[in-house]
Amino acid sequence: MGIFSKEEVLFEKENFRIGEFDPTNSTGTCYFNIMKFPFDVKKNRMVRVHVTSELPIDVAVATQDNGGLLGEVGGTTDVTLGPFSTKNCTDMCVFLGITPGDKSTVSVKVWSDSK
């Protein structure tokens, strides 16, 4: 971001649980150990993702338009990924994963530069 740029929050979710037990979960694991959070982006912007967690989790950022993986980090409790150029993308997604049986409180914030 430039000196005079302001950030535009694209997605934010605070203090939610990942890894909770749920026998009706469609993944077949009975745990919500993988979560995805899609969000809309504007073309030709720079996007950043910040994730904090009590226990180590895996974080990935991808584009939904062509399924391209932009960045990933495993076993982290506090990470900022990016900046990633949106280029011609209009949709992106943050993926979170935790080992089945583990539980953690997580916060996610996604923002871009505002023009």
The answer, yes or no, to whether residue 2 has pLDDT greater than 60, is no
Each domain of the chain, given as residue ranges in start order, spans 6-114
Percentage of the chain surpassing pLDDT 70? 92
| Topology of the domain covering 6-114 | Jelly Rolls (2.60.120)
CA–CA separation, 100 vs 29, rounded Å?
7
The answer, yes or no, to whether residue 4 has pLDDT greater than 80, is no
> Rounded mean pLDDT of 103-114?
94
Positive or negative: CA dihedral 30, 32, 33, 36 = positive
The answer, yes or no, to whether residue 97 has pLDDT greater than 70, is yes
pTM equals 0.89
